[in-house]
Amino acid sequence: MDHLELWKAIKETLRSQITEGFTFNNFVESLSPLMVTTANNTTMLYLTTSSSEVADAWKGQESVYFASFVTAAMQATMNLYGTPTFVQPVVQFIEAQPVVVEPTVEAASKPTSTTNSFSVSATALNPEFRFDTFVSSDTNLEAYSVAQAVAKDPGKQWNPLMIYGGVGLGKTHLMQAIGNSVLEANPNARVKFITTETFINDFTEALRKSQDAVEQFKREYRSVDLLLVDDIQFLADKAKIQEEFFNTFNAVTEVNHQIVMTSDKLPRDIKGIEDRLVSRFSMGYSANITKPDLPTKVAILRNKAEQEGLQIPNDVIDEIAASVDTNVRELEGVFNQVVGKLRFSPEPMTVDTARNILDSLNFKRQRTVTIEMIQDEVAKYFDITIGDIIGKKRNKEIVVPRQIAMYLSRDITQESLPQIGRSFGGKDHTTVMHASDKIVNLISEDTTLVRQIQEIRENLSNS
């Protein structure tokens, strides 16, 4: 489960259950999601607040908010993941760091007022979101490589960095990995991670409070070394907020400090984003993340099983990976459900029992991709013939697609090298190895090639 997505869904349900105005704004809206964990069959959503009063109000199962939260979570998880889940709220008090401002003579002569106190939302990086827990593959290699480069030398070549792609593909993980890496190298670095919703709420609250609050907001957001902003698409159609973000963006980047953002699509494709912001966002580097291929899904689930100390047979993991063809978030969600059901089942943990559970969840193994299907898709993509793919022509317009087809055949199918060679006009297995290695070496330096392979993979998945 994604903590941001989960909290957003729960909060919207709570909005209709808890009195609007003071109660909701202070005891629900003021909370920030930190992480979601599952241990001993108990799922817990950790939230932070800068108010000890709010933290106390949420403490324990006797809290007036506990029952409403659990009910809202059951509804939210049913809507998001298809299965209602008991989620327990854990609200932690994190004291806001005060911003010290030297008062002017005029201000010092005025009585202090506490009615307009303001503090910027405190957010924290998820310590589990690191580069070593992110499974890299062809579908995300570009974003992964650029993110590592930014983490090593922030504020230099790729600023801002925009990571874009569909829901649940690892954008937030990769962005926070940059923050965790920067803090590991320099614990004193000023790193701020926020959602766009948090930025909007902070700025709106500052405007409501006072001019001093607005100045405090600006100091907090513009004095960072690294600003991480999740889901930038939610700036759309908010002119006043876009103006403030534009000014914040300029203030951070003008001193060569780094900004990293995520979005569901390229900024130029987001309706309602001003041209000047699109222009600023395009100054740096935009990296795409797409759906994981089968080997990547298998690697993700094996990595997850290892991290959680689970002994899951490889063929069961393979079956789950082959049955979920949406995104990483749903893949891990289905994995948790299947493993949970298998744990409490009297039947042995086999592919057949896993398949029965997957069927009950409306997930079935995807069709097998063959060498012939790959050849056909590559030929259509590059506007050549299958005869060209399996023939002997040596011009570049034919050789590169042929090498891509061999690489994908070796990567996706279970066929042996000799069999792949025979399917490409009787070529030797060493030719297949050379072609595959050639593409692997080019991937690390040719972003166009990475994009082409990603698109061919997606076409194979969707056809």
* CA 90/CA 55 separation, integer angstroms: 9
How many CB atoms are closer than 10 A to CB 264? 16
CATH placement of domain 371-462: 1.10.1750.10
What does residue 200 show for φ and ψ, rounded to 5 degrees? -60, -45
pLDDT of residue 127: 86
Q: Residue 438: CB partners within 8 Å, gap ≥ 6?
A: 403, 407
pLDDT, average across residues 374-384: 94
pLDDT of residue 277: 92
- Detail the residues annotated as belonging to a binding site: 168, 170-172
* CA 233/CA 14 separation, integer angstroms: 24
- Detail the residues annotated as belonging to a binding site for ATP: 168, 170-172
* CA 423/CA 417 separation, integer angstroms: 10
Q: In the structure encoding, which two tokens stand for residue 333, read together?
A: 């969600």
Domain locations in the chain? 3-101, 106-289, 294-299+314-360, 371-462
Q: Residue 339: CB partners within 8 Å, gap ≥ 6?
A: 305, 310, 312
The answer to whether 93 and 52 are in contact (CB under 8 A) is yes
Q: Is the model's pLDDT at 325 over the cut of 80?
A: no
Encode pLDDT of 265-302 as tens digits: 888 888 899 999 999 998 899 988 877 777 888 888 88
Of 407, 412, 416, 415, nearest in space to 441 by CA: 407
In the CATH scheme, what architecture does the domain 106-289 have?
3-Layer(aba) Sandwich (3.40)
pLDDT, average across residues 441-451: 85
Of 154, 175, 204, nearest in space to 4 by CA: 175
pLDDT of residue 347: 77
> Burial level of 103, CB count in 10 A (0-12/13-18/19+)?
exposed
* CA 263/CA 272 separation, integer angstroms: 14
pLDDT, average across residues 392-406: 92
pTM: 0.54
Compare 19 and 227 and report the one with higher pLDDT: 227
In the CATH scheme, what architecture does the domain 3-101 have?
2-Layer Sandwich (3.30)
- Residue whose tokens read 């749903």: 330
The answer to whether 405 and 436 are in contact (CB under 8 A) is no
* CA 191/CA 176 separation, integer angstroms: 10
